[in-house]
Amino acid sequence: MSTVLDPIASRLETLAARFLVDQRLPGMAMGVVLDGELAWSCAMGFADQASGRRVEADTMFRIASITKSFTATAILQLRDKGRLRLDDPLVAHVPEAEAIEDPFGPVEDLTLRRLLSHTSGLQNDVPANDDLWQLALWTEEELLARLDGVRVLAPPETEWRYSNVAYGLLGVVVGRVSGQPYDAYVREHVLTVAGLSSTTFFPDTAQASRVATGHGPRRFDDALSPSREFDSSTYLADGGMWSTVADLSRWATVQFHTKDEDKRGDGDRVLDGRSLREMQRSAVLADTNWNLAYGFGWMSRRLGDARWVGHTGSLYGWRAELLFRPEDSLAVVTLVNGSARPASLVDEVASLILQAHQDRPPDLPQGPPQPLPAAQRELLGSYEEDEYGFGIRVEARDGTLVVLEDGSASAARLTATDDPLVFMLGEGESVGERVVFLRSASGAIAGVNYVGFPLHRLAYVAR
């Protein structure tokens, strides 16, 4: 267990146990990721109440809509390979979508980007026409056959409207563009690469003994009934997955590889860093209080002053939540085989571990800092722009050039290019922008073009 969590470990255990008891749940499992590792976890209650089988560390739960993060990953992989564009109309890959009723414009307005961010205006689910008393879940073939009963309920991009139908159709796109069944593609190109051996759409014989039983809500006594069983093929791409606390914790760590140098195919990297940032970046506000936003397969939630990324999962008999902060390598995972959302528990635990992370002392230097390459030393100094009133400092930190803008305590790394005077910003809101140092006629460094702003160098006058 991490020493950072030692002071709050008993508090975490108490919070989890109290939630289980107060909500009268059959069982749950929870984990905390710190510095990219599963640093704390607990398993409590019953995986199956009727048999008395307990929840264990490797118990498998349904994760429902957290599946959408895997579907979005698959779409971005295919985009990055040039197999599709996010602004492609859905009908370009799924001609059956012509049957969708769109009173606001042509069906071509339903683009993959809008489906990913829930801004397409599509309705949430497709109900059964013959029995509205039943939850209707459809296989891909059944969904496609019922698209003439699907409507666009709002003009695209005018509001956020969550849609399981949208992600079901994105699963169809993955299958058709890749040439593999959706679940086979995700297994080969996402789960295997990420090292998620206990995450699956269809638990096999070896995993059967680890699968929990979903339970419905309590009514007027302590009796709990198993929830109805679902075939994952009937809601494959929008909610069909099973997983464990350890695997979802690992999935969170995969999301931490958000730097430009993080490249797909390097270890567990399922996407380039740039594409991971794109998935996690808020594309649309989901509420008027700026507390919830949605990207591609991931939500953003604000807890106090901190932004967390993640997703919830909800199905009859199951609840799940994953929250993470890539910039701090923190995550919280909670899986429940009952009918109470763990949001309040996850929020409190997330706030606790973030505070513990921020309160720990910094790592002390183990030796002298790395020297800056001699050829870069002439670039150090202060630079200022007269007309706009803006300035920067270029400093050396542990062998690397960094930039600090006026009024900012955060330093952004400068990444070298083949030209010794040209660098790229490695982080911050202007990541990827060019920083070009300028020489005077005499050959001295006289200025810099910083993200398009020409700044002149300030001379240092010794006393």
User: Per residue in 204-224, pLDDT tens?
Assistant: 999 999 999 999 988 778 888
Is residue 136 pLDDT above 80, yes or no? no
Using DSSP, how many helices (H) and how many strands (E) does the chain show?
Answer: 11, 19
Which of 67-71, 132-136, 156-160 comes out lowest in average pLDDT?
132-136
Q: 273-280 and 67-80 helices cross at what angle (nearest 10)?
A: 130
CA nearest neighbour of 323 among 273, 255, 239, 237: 255
Q: What is the mean pLDDT of residues 42-65?
A: 97
Is residue 143 pLDDT above 60, yes or no? yes
Cα separation of 239 and 182, whole Å? 13
**Whether 350 contacts 304, CB under 8 Å:** no
Please give the pLDDT value at position 263. Answer: 96
Q: What is the mean pLDDT of residues 275-280?
A: 97
Question: Sign of dihedral through CA atoms 103, 104, 108, 114?
Answer: negative
Please give the pLDDT value at position 220. Answer: 79
pLDDT bucket at 154, cuts 50 / 70 / 90: very high
pLDDT bucket at 151, cuts 50 / 70 / 90: very high
Cα separation of 96 and 91, whole Å? 7
Is residue 157 pLDDT above 70, yes or no? yes
What single-letter DSSP state applies at residue 97? G
Cα separation of 417 and 134, whole Å? 60
Specify burial of residue 205 (Cβ count, 10 A radius: 0-12, 13-18, 19+): exposed
Cα separation of 459 and 463, whole Å? 13
**Whether 412 contacts 425, CB under 8 Å:** yes
Is residue 1 pLDDT above 50, yes or no? no
Please give the pLDDT value at position 366. Answer: 87
Cα separation of 252 and 322, whole Å? 8
Percent of the chain with pLDDT over 70: 97
Specify burial of residue 14 (Cβ count, 10 A radius: 0-12, 13-18, 19+): exposed
Please give the pLDDT value at position 130. Answer: 64
| Domain 6-77+175-359 homologous superfamily, CATH | DD-peptidase/beta-lactamase superfamily (3.40.710.10)
pLDDT per position as a tens digit, 9-42: 999 999 999 999 999 999 999 999 999 999 999 9
Question: Strand 434-439 relative to strand 318-325: parallel, antiparallel, unpaired?
Answer: unpaired
Alpha helices (H) along 255-326:
273-280
pLDDT per position as a tens digit, 345-369: 999 999 999 999 999 888 888 889 8
Please give the pLDDT value at position 184. Answer: 98
The model carries a pTM of 0.90
What value does the mean pLDDT of the chain take? Answer: 94
What is the C-alpha R_g of the chain? 25
Cα separation of 279 and 295, whole Å? 6
Percent of the chain with pLDDT over 90: 85
Choose the CATH number for 374-457 among 2.40.128.50, 3.40.50.300, 3.40.50.720, 3.30.420.340: 2.40.128.50
Query: Ramachandran region of residue 310, left (φ > 0), alpha (ψ -120 to 50) or beta?
Result: left
Q: Which two tokens stand for residue 384?
A: 């200022």
Q: What is the mean pLDDT of residues 116-140?
A: 82
Most confident of 125-129, 131-135, 203-207: 203-207
Backbone angles phi, psi at 179, to 5 degrees: 80, 10
Q: Kindly list the domain boundaries of the chain, sorted by start residue.
A: 6-77+175-359, 374-457
Please give the pLDDT value at position 362. Answer: 85
Instruction: Write the DSSP string, 48-96.
Output: ETTTTEEP-TT-BEEEETTHHHHHHHHHHHHHHTTS--TTSBGGGT-GG
Backbone angles phi, psi at 165, to 5 degrees: -55, -45
Burial 338-351 (b: 16+ CB within 10 A, else e): bbbbbeebbbbbbe
Cα separation of 301 and 231, whole Å? 31
CA nearest neighbour of 155 among 108, 120, 130: 120
Please give the pLDDT value at position 2. Answer: 58
Please give the pLDDT value at position 14. Answer: 98
The CA-CA-CA angle for residues 279, 322, 34, to 5°, reads: 95
pLDDT per position as a tens digit, 86-108: 999 999 999 999 999 999 999 99
**Whether 445 contacts 370, CB under 8 Å:** no
